[in-house]
Amino acid sequence: MLLDQLADRQLVHACLLSGEKGLGKKTLASRMAASLLCESEGRMRPCGACRACAMSANLEHPDMIVIRQGAPLSPDVKKDRATIPVDDIREMIRLCSLRTMGGNARVVLIFDAEKMTPQAQNSLLKTLEEPPENTFILICTDHPDSLLTTVISRCRHIRLRPWPNEYVEKVLRDQHVASERIRDSVRYASGSIGKALELAGDETYWQMRREVLSAFFAGKLRSGILQTSNAWKDRKADAPRMLEILESMVRELLQVRLGGDADTEVPLFPDNWAHFARSAPVERFLFLLDAVSQARKQLQFNVNFQAVLEQLLFAFMGEGSQW
Ligand SMILES: [Zn+2]
Protein backbone atom coordinates (compact mmCIF):
# COMPACT_ATOMS: atom_id res chain seq x y z
CA MET A 1 0.00 0.00 0.00
CA LEU A 2 2.82 2.36 0.90
CA LEU A 3 4.63 1.57 -2.33
CA ASP A 4 1.50 2.35 -4.30
CA GLN A 5 0.96 5.62 -2.48
CA LEU A 6 4.56 6.55 -3.10
CA ALA A 7 4.38 5.57 -6.76
CA ASP A 8 1.26 7.69 -7.24
CA ARG A 9 2.79 10.51 -5.18
CA GLN A 10 -0.22 10.23 -2.90
CA LEU A 11 1.54 9.85 0.42
CA VAL A 12 0.13 11.87 3.31
CA HIS A 13 2.53 14.60 4.32
CA ALA A 14 3.36 13.24 7.76
CA CYS A 15 3.96 9.64 8.81
CA LEU A 16 4.89 8.27 12.20
CA LEU A 17 6.75 4.95 12.14
CA SER A 18 6.77 3.19 15.49
CA GLY A 19 7.81 -0.19 16.84
CA GLU A 20 10.52 -1.93 18.83
CA LYS A 21 14.16 -1.18 18.23
CA GLY A 22 15.62 -3.02 15.27
CA LEU A 23 12.43 -3.71 13.32
CA GLY A 24 13.51 -1.50 10.43
CA LYS A 25 11.81 1.86 11.03
CA LYS A 26 14.79 3.92 9.89
CA THR A 27 15.40 1.62 6.95
CA LEU A 28 11.79 1.98 5.83
CA ALA A 29 11.75 5.75 6.37
CA SER A 30 14.98 6.14 4.41
CA ARG A 31 13.53 4.10 1.54
CA MET A 32 10.36 6.17 1.58
CA ALA A 33 12.47 9.33 1.48
CA ALA A 34 14.55 7.98 -1.40
CA SER A 35 11.36 7.12 -3.25
CA LEU A 36 9.98 10.64 -2.84
CA LEU A 37 13.23 12.19 -4.07
CA CYS A 38 14.00 9.72 -6.87
CA GLU A 39 14.23 11.31 -10.33
CA SER A 40 13.11 8.26 -12.26
CA GLU A 41 9.88 8.53 -14.24
CA GLY A 42 9.09 4.85 -13.72
CA ARG A 43 6.75 3.43 -11.08
CA MET A 44 9.49 1.61 -9.25
CA ARG A 45 10.99 4.27 -7.07
CA PRO A 46 13.57 4.44 -5.59
CA CYS A 47 15.18 3.24 -8.82
CA GLY A 48 18.57 2.95 -7.16
CA ALA A 49 20.26 4.21 -10.32
CA CYS A 50 19.65 7.96 -10.57
CA ARG A 51 21.71 10.77 -9.11
CA ALA A 52 19.10 11.47 -6.41
CA CYS A 53 19.08 7.81 -5.32
CA ALA A 54 22.86 7.81 -4.99
CA MET A 55 22.67 10.82 -2.65
CA SER A 56 19.69 9.45 -0.74
CA ALA A 57 21.50 6.18 -0.06
CA ASN A 58 23.88 8.04 2.26
CA LEU A 59 21.14 10.34 3.60
CA GLU A 60 23.02 13.13 1.83
CA HIS A 61 20.43 14.42 -0.62
CA PRO A 62 20.30 18.23 -0.33
CA ASP A 63 16.50 18.14 -0.13
CA MET A 64 16.59 15.68 2.74
CA ILE A 65 16.75 17.08 6.26
CA VAL A 66 17.78 14.55 8.88
CA ILE A 67 17.11 15.34 12.53
CA ARG A 68 18.60 13.08 15.17
CA GLN A 69 20.00 13.41 18.65
CA GLY A 70 23.73 14.14 18.68
CA ALA A 71 23.84 15.52 15.12
CA PRO A 72 22.60 19.09 15.51
CA LEU A 73 21.12 20.98 12.58
CA SER A 74 21.46 24.28 14.32
CA PRO A 75 24.93 25.72 15.02
CA ASP A 76 23.66 26.73 18.48
CA VAL A 77 23.19 23.16 19.63
CA LYS A 78 25.98 21.19 21.29
CA LYS A 79 26.69 17.73 19.92
CA ASP A 80 26.50 15.97 23.27
CA ARG A 81 22.98 17.08 24.10
CA ALA A 82 20.86 14.13 25.12
CA THR A 83 17.73 15.60 23.55
CA ILE A 84 16.57 16.98 20.24
CA PRO A 85 16.06 20.62 21.22
CA VAL A 86 13.64 23.15 19.80
CA ASP A 87 16.50 24.91 17.98
CA ASP A 88 16.84 21.92 15.66
CA ILE A 89 13.16 22.07 14.80
CA ARG A 90 13.32 25.83 14.23
CA GLU A 91 16.30 25.35 11.92
CA MET A 92 14.38 22.64 10.05
CA ILE A 93 11.44 25.03 9.60
CA ARG A 94 13.80 27.68 8.25
CA LEU A 95 15.37 25.23 5.80
CA CYS A 96 11.92 24.13 4.67
CA SER A 97 11.06 27.69 3.69
CA LEU A 98 13.91 27.74 1.15
CA ARG A 99 13.60 26.50 -2.43
CA THR A 100 14.42 22.87 -2.98
CA MET A 101 17.58 22.02 -4.93
CA GLY A 102 16.05 19.30 -7.02
CA GLY A 103 12.88 21.30 -7.56
CA ASN A 104 10.89 18.33 -6.33
CA ALA A 105 9.81 17.10 -2.94
CA ARG A 106 11.53 17.84 0.34
CA VAL A 107 11.74 15.17 3.02
CA VAL A 108 12.31 15.67 6.72
CA LEU A 109 13.44 12.56 8.60
CA ILE A 110 13.23 12.66 12.38
CA PHE A 111 14.99 9.68 13.98
CA ASP A 112 14.55 8.77 17.68
CA ALA A 113 11.74 11.31 17.85
CA GLU A 114 11.10 10.51 21.53
CA LYS A 115 14.25 12.54 22.22
CA MET A 116 12.48 15.72 21.16
CA THR A 117 11.83 18.03 24.09
CA PRO A 118 8.16 19.02 24.63
CA GLN A 119 9.08 22.45 23.33
CA ALA A 120 10.53 20.91 20.17
CA GLN A 121 7.41 18.81 19.72
CA ASN A 122 5.18 21.84 20.09
CA SER A 123 7.21 23.67 17.51
CA LEU A 124 6.97 20.68 15.16
CA LEU A 125 3.23 20.63 15.68
CA LYS A 126 2.81 23.89 13.79
CA THR A 127 4.58 22.45 10.77
CA LEU A 128 2.46 19.31 10.96
CA GLU A 129 -0.68 21.44 10.98
CA GLU A 130 0.34 23.59 8.04
CA PRO A 131 3.07 21.78 6.16
CA PRO A 132 4.90 23.60 3.37
CA GLU A 133 3.90 22.38 -0.06
CA ASN A 134 5.54 19.16 -1.24
CA THR A 135 7.18 18.59 2.13
CA PHE A 136 7.00 15.16 3.73
CA ILE A 137 7.83 14.52 7.35
CA LEU A 138 8.74 10.98 8.39
CA ILE A 139 9.04 10.48 12.13
CA CYS A 140 10.58 7.34 13.68
CA THR A 141 10.35 6.32 17.32
CA ASP A 142 10.70 3.27 19.59
CA HIS A 143 8.51 5.02 22.17
CA PRO A 144 5.45 6.68 20.63
CA ASP A 145 4.05 7.12 24.17
CA SER A 146 6.74 9.78 24.73
CA LEU A 147 5.25 11.94 21.97
CA LEU A 148 2.50 14.47 22.46
CA THR A 149 -0.85 13.01 21.45
CA THR A 150 -1.35 16.08 19.28
CA VAL A 151 1.80 15.17 17.32
CA ILE A 152 0.66 11.57 16.90
CA SER A 153 -2.84 12.54 15.83
CA ARG A 154 -1.52 14.67 12.99
CA CYS A 155 0.48 11.83 11.46
CA ARG A 156 -0.46 8.69 9.68
CA HIS A 157 0.67 6.15 12.26
CA ILE A 158 2.43 3.10 10.80
CA ARG A 159 3.18 0.48 13.44
CA LEU A 160 5.92 -1.98 12.56
CA ARG A 161 5.35 -5.47 13.93
CA PRO A 162 7.96 -8.05 14.90
CA TRP A 163 9.18 -10.15 11.97
CA PRO A 164 8.44 -13.87 11.88
CA ASN A 165 11.40 -15.86 13.25
CA GLU A 166 11.83 -17.64 9.90
CA TYR A 167 12.40 -14.32 8.21
CA VAL A 168 14.87 -13.09 10.83
CA GLU A 169 16.69 -16.39 10.40
CA LYS A 170 16.85 -15.89 6.62
CA VAL A 171 18.31 -12.39 7.05
CA LEU A 172 20.99 -13.76 9.38
CA ARG A 173 21.83 -16.51 6.91
CA ASP A 174 22.04 -13.96 4.09
CA GLN A 175 24.41 -11.92 6.23
CA HIS A 176 26.62 -15.00 6.66
CA VAL A 177 26.18 -15.30 10.42
CA ALA A 178 27.80 -18.52 11.70
CA SER A 179 25.13 -21.22 11.63
CA GLU A 180 25.59 -22.30 15.28
CA ARG A 181 24.85 -18.72 16.34
CA ILE A 182 21.72 -18.20 14.22
CA ARG A 183 19.20 -20.21 16.23
CA ASP A 184 19.95 -18.57 19.58
CA SER A 185 20.20 -15.07 18.12
CA VAL A 186 16.76 -15.48 16.56
CA ARG A 187 15.35 -16.93 19.74
CA TYR A 188 16.32 -13.94 21.88
CA ALA A 189 15.66 -11.20 19.34
CA SER A 190 11.84 -11.20 19.63
CA GLY A 191 11.34 -10.58 15.93
CA SER A 192 13.79 -7.68 15.71
CA ILE A 193 16.25 -8.01 12.85
CA GLY A 194 18.49 -5.30 14.28
CA LYS A 195 18.63 -7.01 17.65
CA ALA A 196 19.32 -10.43 16.09
CA LEU A 197 22.22 -9.04 14.08
CA GLU A 198 23.58 -7.23 17.09
CA LEU A 199 23.38 -10.36 19.25
CA ALA A 200 24.91 -12.55 16.58
CA GLY A 201 28.03 -10.42 16.48
CA ASP A 202 28.33 -9.78 20.19
CA GLU A 203 30.62 -12.32 21.87
CA THR A 204 30.36 -10.61 25.27
CA TYR A 205 26.58 -11.12 25.27
CA TRP A 206 26.91 -14.89 24.94
CA GLN A 207 29.63 -14.98 27.54
CA MET A 208 27.38 -13.07 29.95
CA ARG A 209 24.45 -15.41 29.27
CA ARG A 210 26.62 -18.32 30.35
CA GLU A 211 27.69 -16.41 33.47
CA VAL A 212 24.12 -15.44 34.40
CA LEU A 213 22.99 -19.01 33.92
CA SER A 214 25.65 -20.37 36.22
CA ALA A 215 25.22 -17.60 38.83
CA PHE A 216 21.43 -17.72 39.14
CA PHE A 217 20.36 -21.17 38.05
CA ALA A 218 23.19 -23.58 38.85
CA GLY A 219 23.41 -23.29 42.64
CA LYS A 220 20.90 -24.53 45.18
CA LEU A 221 22.82 -23.76 48.32
CA ARG A 222 22.39 -20.45 50.02
CA SER A 223 26.06 -20.57 50.99
CA GLY A 224 26.81 -19.93 47.33
CA ILE A 225 25.17 -16.51 47.46
CA LEU A 226 28.01 -14.67 49.10
CA GLN A 227 30.59 -16.29 46.88
CA THR A 228 28.68 -15.36 43.74
CA SER A 229 27.92 -11.83 44.86
CA ASN A 230 31.59 -11.34 45.66
CA ALA A 231 32.57 -12.49 42.21
CA TRP A 232 30.14 -10.00 40.63
CA LYS A 233 30.41 -7.06 42.98
CA ASP A 234 32.73 -4.97 40.78
CA ARG A 235 30.59 -5.39 37.68
CA LYS A 236 27.94 -2.78 38.33
CA ALA A 237 28.40 -1.49 34.79
CA ASP A 238 27.19 -4.87 33.51
CA ALA A 239 24.07 -4.75 35.67
CA PRO A 240 21.51 -3.47 33.10
CA ARG A 241 22.47 -6.17 30.63
CA MET A 242 22.65 -8.82 33.32
CA LEU A 243 19.11 -8.00 34.45
CA GLU A 244 17.87 -7.98 30.87
CA ILE A 245 19.32 -11.44 30.31
CA LEU A 246 17.96 -12.75 33.59
CA GLU A 247 14.51 -11.45 32.70
CA SER A 248 14.63 -13.05 29.27
CA MET A 249 15.58 -16.37 30.89
CA VAL A 250 12.58 -16.29 33.23
CA ARG A 251 10.35 -15.45 30.27
CA GLU A 252 11.84 -18.34 28.37
CA LEU A 253 10.95 -20.69 31.23
CA LEU A 254 7.49 -19.16 31.49
CA GLN A 255 6.93 -19.86 27.83
CA VAL A 256 7.53 -23.53 28.45
CA ARG A 257 4.97 -23.39 31.24
CA LEU A 258 2.38 -21.58 29.16
CA GLY A 259 3.03 -23.87 26.21
CA GLY A 260 1.70 -26.62 28.46
CA ASP A 261 3.71 -29.28 26.70
CA ALA A 262 5.60 -31.51 29.13
CA ASP A 263 7.98 -32.57 26.38
CA THR A 264 9.12 -29.08 25.43
CA GLU A 265 12.85 -28.95 25.75
CA VAL A 266 14.29 -26.67 28.37
CA PRO A 267 17.74 -26.31 26.90
CA LEU A 268 20.76 -25.46 29.01
CA PHE A 269 18.89 -25.11 32.31
CA PRO A 270 19.64 -27.60 35.13
CA ASP A 271 17.04 -30.29 35.91
CA ASN A 272 15.41 -28.51 38.85
CA TRP A 273 14.72 -25.46 36.70
CA ALA A 274 13.42 -27.63 33.87
CA HIS A 275 11.04 -29.10 36.43
CA PHE A 276 10.12 -25.59 37.59
CA ALA A 277 9.42 -24.57 33.99
CA ARG A 278 6.99 -27.43 33.48
CA SER A 279 5.21 -27.44 36.83
CA ALA A 280 5.50 -24.25 38.87
CA PRO A 281 2.41 -22.08 39.36
CA VAL A 282 2.51 -19.02 37.12
CA GLU A 283 2.73 -16.67 40.10
CA ARG A 284 6.20 -18.07 40.90
CA PHE A 285 7.42 -16.86 37.49
CA LEU A 286 5.85 -13.49 38.16
CA PHE A 287 7.55 -13.41 41.53
CA LEU A 288 10.94 -13.84 39.84
CA LEU A 289 10.17 -11.24 37.17
CA ASP A 290 9.13 -8.88 39.93
CA ALA A 291 12.40 -9.53 41.79
CA VAL A 292 14.29 -8.52 38.64
CA SER A 293 12.32 -5.34 38.17
CA GLN A 294 12.71 -4.46 41.86
CA ALA A 295 16.47 -4.88 41.46
CA ARG A 296 16.41 -2.59 38.44
CA LYS A 297 14.56 0.09 40.41
CA GLN A 298 16.90 -0.20 43.37
CA LEU A 299 19.92 0.26 41.14
CA GLN A 300 18.35 3.37 39.65
CA PHE A 301 18.12 4.70 43.18
CA ASN A 302 21.77 3.82 43.74
CA VAL A 303 21.25 1.07 46.27
CA ASN A 304 24.51 -0.84 46.84
CA PHE A 305 25.00 -3.22 43.91
CA GLN A 306 26.21 -6.15 45.97
CA ALA A 307 23.21 -5.89 48.30
CA VAL A 308 20.82 -5.84 45.35
CA LEU A 309 22.61 -8.80 43.84
CA GLU A 310 22.38 -10.82 47.05
CA GLN A 311 18.67 -10.19 47.33
CA LEU A 312 18.20 -11.33 43.77
CA LEU A 313 20.34 -14.43 44.20
CA PHE A 314 18.40 -15.22 47.35
CA ALA A 315 15.12 -15.10 45.42
CA PHE A 316 16.40 -17.33 42.62
CA MET A 317 18.22 -19.88 44.75
CA GLY A 318 15.28 -20.00 47.15
CA GLU A 319 12.96 -20.80 44.27
CA GLY A 320 15.35 -23.23 42.60
CA SER A 321 15.93 -25.21 45.78
CA GLN A 322 12.23 -26.14 45.93
CA TRP A 323 12.20 -28.01 42.65
ZN1 LIG B 1 16.20 6.99 -8.43
- What per-residue confidence (pLDDT) applies to 261? 63
Q: Helix or strand or coil: residue 203?
A: helix
- 50 Cα: distance to centroid of ligand 1 (angstroms): 4
Bridge partners for 17 per DSSP: 140, 158
- What per-residue confidence (pLDDT) applies to 260? 66
- What per-residue confidence (pLDDT) applies to 30? 95
- What per-residue confidence (pLDDT) applies to 218? 87
- 49 Cα: distance to centroid of ligand 1 (angstroms): 5
- 3 Cα: distance to centroid of ligand 1 (angstroms): 14
In sequence order, which residues have a C-beta less than 8 Å from that of residue 262 and are 6 or more positions away?
278
The predicted-structure confidence for 51-92, as pLDDT tens digits, reads as follows: 999 999 999 999 999 999 988 888 877 887 889 999 999 999
- The class (CATH top level) of 2-159 is alpha beta
Provide the greatest CA pair distance for the chain. Answer: 73
- 135 Cα: distance to centroid of ligand 1 (angstroms): 18
- Four-CA torsion 63, 66, 67, 71, nearest 10 degrees: -120
- 48 Cα: distance to centroid of ligand 1 (angstroms): 5
Tell me the C-alpha distance between 70 and 81, whole Å: 6
Q: 142 vs 145, 159, 293, 297, CA distance in Å?
A: 9, 10, 21, 21
- What per-residue confidence (pLDDT) applies to 44? 87
The predicted-structure confidence for 162-188, as pLDDT tens digits, reads as follows: 999 999 999 999 999 988 889 889 988
CB atoms within 10 A of CB 43: 11
Helix axes 193-200, 165-174, angle to 10 degrees: 50
- 6 Cα: distance to centroid of ligand 1 (angstroms): 13
- 268 Cα: distance to centroid of ligand 1 (angstroms): 50
Tell me if 239 sits within 8 A of 299, measured CB to CB: yes
- What per-residue confidence (pLDDT) applies to 291? 96
- 132 Cα: distance to centroid of ligand 1 (angstroms): 23
- What per-residue confidence (pLDDT) applies to 207? 93
- 45 Cα: distance to centroid of ligand 1 (angstroms): 6
Tell me the C-alpha distance between 179 and 170, whole Å: 11
Tell me if 30 sits within 8 A of 109, measured CB to CB: yes
CATH T-level assignment (fold) for domain 212-320: Zinc Finger, Delta Prime; domain 3 (1.20.272)
- What per-residue confidence (pLDDT) applies to 316? 95
**H helix runs in 164-238, sequence order:** 165-174, 179-188, 193-200, 203-216, 223-232
- 217 Cα: distance to centroid of ligand 1 (angstroms): 55
Tell me the C-alpha distance between 208 and 160, whole Å: 30
Q: 172 vs 115, 199, 267, CA distance in Å?
A: 30, 11, 22
- What per-residue confidence (pLDDT) applies to 84? 94
DSSP state of 182: H
- 13 Cα: distance to centroid of ligand 1 (angstroms): 20
- 314 Cα: distance to centroid of ligand 1 (angstroms): 60
Q: Which regions in the chain score pLDDT beneath 50? A: none
190 φψ region: left (φ > 0), alpha (ψ -120 to 50), beta (else): left
- What per-residue confidence (pLDDT) applies to 255? 87
* Residues less than 5 Å from ion ligand 1, measured at CB: 38, 40, 46-47, 50, 53
Bridge partners for 67 per DSSP: 110
- 34 Cα: distance to centroid of ligand 1 (angstroms): 7
Pairs from 36-44 (Cβ < 8 Å, separation ≥ 24): 36/6, 36/9, 36/11, 36/104, 36/105, 36/107, 36/136, 37/61, 37/63, 37/64, 37/102, 37/104, 37/105, 37/107, 39/102, 39/104, 43/7, 44/7
- What per-residue confidence (pLDDT) applies to 153? 95
Tell me if 141 sits within 8 A of 20, measured CB to CB: no
- 39 Cα: distance to centroid of ligand 1 (angstroms): 5
- What per-residue confidence (pLDDT) applies to 183? 87
The predicted-structure confidence for 132-150, as pLDDT tens digits, reads as follows: 989 999 999 999 989 999 9
Tell me the C-alpha distance between 141 and 29, whole Å: 11
